[in-house]
Amino acid sequence: MRIEKNFSLKDHNTFHLPVCTRWFMEYDNEDELGRILRDEYFQELRSLHIGAGSNLLFVADFNGIIVHSRIRGIHVARETDTEVILRIGAAEPWDDVVRYAVSRGWGGIENLSHIPGEAGAAAVQNIGAYGVELKDVVDSVETFNQLTFEPHTYTVDACQYAYRRSIFKDEQRDPHIVTHLNLRLQKRPVLHLDYAPLRDAIGALASPTVSDVREAVGTIRRSKLPDPAELGNAGSFYKNPVITAEHAARIQQQYPAMPSYPQADGSLKLAAGWLIDRCGLKGRQIGGAAVHDKQALVLVNKGSATAADVRALSDLICKTVHEKFGITLHSEPDWLPPSFQAA
């Protein structure tokens, strides 16, 4: 176990904003987690469990306890001739899990290559990229209840997965901390090449493998998305908005080439990055915060961004997109505290 007081979170959020927490605690197993949660002093303070901080925006100091898992490990829990159930500790870096699976030729998560963050947070967030969402391969999620201190295993259905959502995102409804993730991977993979740039990159190969997909995803990501180790960011800064077909048709009259993705209920999902780009905001900078010049959906820390810079830039983006397209953007990373969130 590790306990620190007045601890900087600069290296625990990939946007690298300069904020502090009153307490920072890390645990190595469920027993230690139980001891932290049972502590009377701890119970009086506000607490927040984080992963690698790749989807969090700390915009003020945190007057409470930040808790972080150090439960690691990737093991084969069960296997058949066709499938493998992989049990993964929540603190395992997500991309180490993908590398492990791909190096053995097991399919299911290769499209999710190179996403920053930890396995536990991936299960909370239902990460998605290039036509695959984590929910497609989740077998079950093991958790620790913060109120009853009991372990529980959620089947994939019980996780209530949706676009970047799960039951674990709503702590009011479900006070569970993810400890392990169980994935169902395929020994004879069927590749998912629906995403056009991926199909274009792989299409020419005679019999592409999961390694080829991982490599192509790496190339596509590097061309658009900044590496948080080099340029602070929190991935997509907004969710892709879903609007009515009538609203989309009005925009399409002016922009026939606007990308849109039909949803099951007849509505259309648009690309927030495209909308921001059309507003001419790519590269726009306020203080140390900027709209990434290769992908308008990502805001970056040019090195000295403050929380106020990020908020001012986000306010400008939301206001401009709303004025031009009548669409309200919603933030994708969680803001802390949430009341600072612009939209």
Binding positions for ligand EPU, rule: CB under 6 A? 129-130, 195, 224-225, 235-236, 239-240, 259, 271, 273-274, 277, 282, 295-297, 332
Please report, in angstroms and rounded to a whole number, the separation of the first and last CA atoms in the chain. Answer: 37
Please say which residue, 89 or 273, places its beta carbon nearer to ligand EPU.
273
Asked if residue 79 lies in contact with residue 191, where contact means CB atoms within 8 angstroms, the answer is no
Tokens encoding 157: 């259905």
Catalytic residue numbers, as ranges:
164, 236, 332
**Comparing C-alpha atoms, which of 46, 41, 36, 48 is closest to residue 12?**
48
197 versus 208: smaller Cβ distance to ligand EPU: 197
CB 280 → ligand EPU: shortest distance, Å? 11
Q: Give the residue with the Cβ less far from ligand EPU, 139 or 332.
A: 332
* Least separation in angstroms between CB 255 and ligand EPU: 10
The Cα-based distances of 129 to 24, 75, 78, 284, 310 in angstroms read 31, 24, 27, 26, 25
Q: How far is the CB of 247 from ligand EPU (least distance, A)?
A: 17
The answer to whether 84 and 185 are in contact (CB under 8 A) is yes
Contact between residue 291 and residue 313 where contact means Cβ atoms under 8 Å apart: yes
Quickly count: other Cβ atoms within 10 Å of residue 65's Cβ.
21
Contact 127/115 with Cβ under 8 angstroms?
yes
- Closest approach, Cβ 16 to ligand EPU, in A, equals 16
β-bridge mates for residue 180, sequence order: 89, 142
**Structure tokens that stand for 261 in this block:** 């993705």
Kindly tell me the burial class for residue 93, based on how many C-beta atoms sit within 10 Å of its own C-beta (0-12, 13-18, 19 or more): middle
In degrees, to the nearest 5, what angle opens at C-alpha 62 toward C-alphas 151 and 315?
Answer: 110
Q: Radius of gyration of the chain from Cα atoms?
A: 21
- Which residues lie across from 84 on neighbouring strands? 79, 185
In the complex, the smallest distance separating the C-beta of residue 137 from ligand EPU, rounded to whole angstroms, is: 16
Which neighbouring-strand residues pair with 57? 335
**What are the start-end ranges of the H helices in 175-306?**
196-202, 210-224, 245-254, 272-278
Cβ of residue 163: shortest distance to ligand EPU, in angstroms? Answer: 7
For ligand EPU, which residue has the nearest CB?
235
